[in-house]
Chain A
Amino acid sequence: MTSYDDSTVTELRQMANRLRISSLKMIYQRQAGHPGGSLSAADIMAVLYFQVLRIDPKQPGWEERDRFILSKGHASSLLYSALAGRGFFPLPDLDHWGELDCHLQGHPDRLKTPGVDMTSGILGHGIAVGSGLALAARVLRKSYRVYVLLGDGECQGGIVWEGVNTCAKYKLSNLTAIVDYNDVQLDGPVHEIMPMEPFDDKWRSFRWNVIKIDGHDIVQILNAFEQARQVTDKPTVVIARTIKGKGVSFMENKAHWHGIAPDKEQYEAALLELQKDDK
């Protein structure tokens, strides 16, 4: 196990918090977006975009780059914040999300936004698309890795498991899926709407390598990706237990905050909480 120095971990933790603040600001300004699932996945995205992914903002189309698919495309404000933070486009673009002339669409569009590897929005596609991308690396003898972030509610759809099956058949060890397991979806708790447990057994029975972590623990996230890179005969899923709305007390674990924007008072209260964490 690689040990990470404290400063790296602290920086990533602060970055996650900044991504939360940025996402929430975007959602507040636009009065639209998905706060709950953006806040829950912020630590995972901070580790991916600021430590793990082999990418170059100066060459968004670099053929050897690692690919990232935001299968849960509704967390677009989080992805846009990470991409702008890495320098794929200017930070002030974030203030124009959703405007008619802005490249930042409601959900990610690979043709419009630099750094977006795949268009997404309708749930379920990420792993199946990723399987083709990972197989293309094999055909063309390229060393890039494919990362797919999906939600737990998203896993209720059958196309997810068609993709999971395909990755197992072809032993796609160059693909890593991360499930942002916050147990909350639009209509309520995942375990009530359509229970997915025993969740890790499902993946294991599909012949995947399964790693379960606390999705808000930076060290555990770093270690999970490191472990996934060591596996050579199967794909890995990182099941990251998270809290929907993480970091804003009144949003945490509330389905209500899946897809609505805070008003001014709520936004300011949320910002106070998040800024306190930024110390």
Chain B
Amino acid sequence: MREAYGRALAEYGAINPRVVALDADTSSSTLSNFFEKRFPDRFFNFGIAEPCMIDAAAGFALGGLIPFANAFAALVALRALEQVRTCICYARLNVKIAASYAGVSDFKDGPTHHAITDIAVMRSLPGMTVVVPADGNEAASFVPLIAEYDGPVYFRLNRAATQPVSRPGEMPVIGKGIMRRTGKDVTIMACGAMAGRSLQAAELLAQKGIDARVLEIHTIKPLDKELIILAALETGAVVTAEEHTIIGGLGSAIVEVLGEELPVPLLRVGINDTFARTGPDPDSVMDACGLGISDIVKAALSVIKRKLY
């Protein structure tokens, strides 16, 4: 996903001269260095100083530019959080935070480098928009949309290649979920790497005679309430799936909406209030911390039994 993003940012930089890229000594990891190579005068490296990078991004936006601030999600959403709140959200500045290595995708570096609380934190900030693409193609498609979107955006990117779910040429819309699979028995609502896993889970459920709908909710905030409520109404049971703690992320956001509008049986698949661990590859780390395809299947089978109608 990071390579698709990095190339897309560099390409878009050729179209929009107002875009600048910032990084915090991770340009060869976030792959903002594709942009750097093409536009050295519009690339700025702040060293290992994420708070300063975020403050400076606010300054670039004040000056009329569109900064993409690239860093590891774990750092930008924690160490630079006060900067994000005060100088970007409260000051309402047009800064795009490209938060790479999100979730447990930095499998080999372990929990210090995982970002499993960032969605919760970012979506609680007034004025922040939170976008989590599901695959490389979608990440690339979002770059121009986010650049041209008026206001701060937290763009959560995976280090790893994820199971593709989007079709070539498809254009996502910020704030609008995507029906990835039709179904009537239960709806799985997922974001990021869990979208592809949810589609695989739906295939396994089909073998058991269960017709699962899959919604990809790439925009956690503002949430596509209509699509979520309609799916809850039509299928009567919901499973949420995210590469994030179950506290405060996509699942919580959906529970907030359905709890108020249309309570239905619901189970959340996510990291269960614990830190993850180091592993040999992203998939095995995900499987080991409750994000397996089998976990989604199990949740779906369980929630269907509790259906009210």
Contact = CB atoms under 8 A, between A and B. Distances in A.
A184 interface: no
Contacts of B63: 132-133, 135-137, 139-140, 142
A139 B20 contact: yes
B65 A111 contact: no
6 contacts: A131-B52, A131-B55, A135-B63, A136-B63, A137-B63, A166-B52
Nearest to B45: A169
Dominant secondary structure of chain B at its interface with chain A? helix
Interface in B43-82: 44, 46-47, 49, 51-52, 55-65, 67, 82
Interface of B: 20, 41-42, 44, 46-47, 49, 51-52, 55-65, 67, 82-83, 86-87, 90-92
A136 B87 contact: no
Q: How large is the interface on A (under 10, 10 to 19, 20 to 34, 35 or more residues)?
A: 20 to 34
Contacts of A135: 44, 56, 59-60, 63
A239 interface: no
Contacts of B58: 118, 125, 129, 132
Contacts of A140: 63-65
A134 interface: yes
Given A162-B49, A165-B49, A117 B82 contact: no
Contacts of B57: 132
Contacts of A162: 46, 49, 51-52
B64 A63 contact: yes
A135 B44 CA distance: 9
A216 B55 CA distance: 31
B38 to A, nearest CB: 15
Given A135-B44, A162-B49, A119 B90 contact: yes
A130 interface: yes
Contacts of B47: 165
Contacts of A125: 55, 58, 83, 86-87
Given A129-B87, A131-B56, A136 B62 contact: yes
A67 interface: yes
A91 interface: no
Contacts of B91: 110-111, 118-119
B55 A132 contact: yes
Nearest to B55: A128
Nearest to A170: B44
Interface in A146-192: 159, 162-163, 165-166, 170
Contact of B60 (A117, A133, A165, A170): A133
A259 interface: no
Interface string A221-263: 0000000000000000000000000000000000000000000
